[in-house]
Amino acid sequence: MDKILIIGASGQIGSELTLALRKVYGNENVFATDIKQAPADVVESGPFQILDALNDKALIHFVIRNKITQVYHLAAVLSGNAEKLPLQAWEINMKGLLNLLDLAKEVGLKKVFWPSSIAVFGRTTPRVNTPQLTVTEPNTVYGISKLAGERWCEYYFNRYGVDVRSIRYPGLISHKTEAGGGTTDYAVEIFYDAIKEKKYECFLKEDAALPMMFMDDAINCTIQLMEADASKISIRSSYNLGGISFDPKEIAAEIKKHIPEFEITYKPDFRQQIAESWPKSIEDTVARKDWGCEYVYDLPKMTKLMLEEIKKKLSK
């Protein structure tokens, strides 16, 4: 029986992935950890413990004591926040991953998942339908840490046989946990402000198109990748996932269909520069061919569900 450790279970991806994995592997077999308290449904549905993954001794003790066989390492400082404290962000983003890869090698973990990002691309990358293999010259500290992380993942696979798998997530959109410190956060904030204020001031320009994905699709793809037979995984750095692409003007127009009085205004800040260095859309045929990734949510379907769910949440 697999025993799964989630590092970063209180965050945007971690809190939802923990619940999804508990459905597949059983509540008691998915150990949620973070340096901060997790949402009530994560704490109440199975084991949760405060754990700092940068502490390599605490991490190895946890893994051995609980007979962990798979680890999902989701803790990271995202693009916007990382620019405020670059060296600290580098330390957090890299040290946690390197601790884990080395531990995987030493104790022989069966599988490791680590998230990369569209942030590995930069100004010299083709921005439309960005291919799996292309120029990667990131301009942000977050992107540099993700690109270095991808190289380390591939290195540990090639050199030591560590079965590490990864996805370059686009911006993730969820009604359960709010995003924190990223460039794509506007696409979550906009729903809350649309419902509460009927207006939103966007920190990106109206035509700043970026690849995005509804969280349910991201969770399903992640589990699909981790369950795929190892022989199907041809990419050991990180897989492109396309999702859906839109700009602030398009999502605002979609929201207006449900809230006609909604208005968006634009006041671009430093994150506009980051957005301009990232792809507008992503090509993901390799992921589709290797392990059959698929998405269910397009912009209209996602917008409708986000508005319904956030309205429910805010009226509680």
Catalytic residues: 142
β pairing state of 30-34 and 171-173: unpaired
Binding of residue 149 to ligand AKB (CB under 6 A): no
Contacts of 307 (CB under 8 A, 6+ apart): 191, 194, 195, 255, 258, 259
Among 18, 33, 70, 79, binds ligand AKB (CB under 6 A): 79
Binding mask 272-301 for ligand AKB (x = CB under 6 A): ------------------------------
CA–CA separation, 61 and 253 (whole Å):
51
Spatial neighbors of 99 by CB under 8 A, at least 6 apart, are 53, 54, 56, 59
Kindly state the smallest distance separating residue 131's Cβ from ligand AKB, in Å: 18
Considering only 10, 15, 117, 303, the residue that binds ligand AKB (CB under 6 A) is 117
**Contact yes or no for 278/212 (Cβ under 8 A):** no
With contact defined as beta carbons under 8 Å apart, do 240 and 174 qualify? no
Give CA separation, 64 vs 35, 226, 254, in Å.
19, 21, 49
**Among residues 13, 17, 78, 187, the one that binds ligand AKB under rule CB under 6 A:** 78
The three-state secondary structure class of 298 is coil
CB of 78 to ligand AKB, least distance (A): 4
- For the segment 169-188, give every residue that binds ligand AKB (CB under 6 A): 169, 171, 182-184
Residue 136 within binding range of ligand AKB, rule CB under 6 A: no
Report the residue number, 118 or 221, with the smaller CB distance to ligand AKB: 118
Least distance (Å) between residue 74 CB and ligand AKB: 12
Q: Does 118 bind ligand AKB (CB under 6 A)?
A: yes
User: CB of 314: closest distance to ligand AKB in angstroms?
Assistant: 23
Spatial distance between the Cα atoms of 127 and 277, rounded to a whole number of angstroms: 8
Which residues of the chain form contacts with ligand AKB (CB under 6 A)?
A: 78-79, 117-119, 142, 169, 171, 182-184
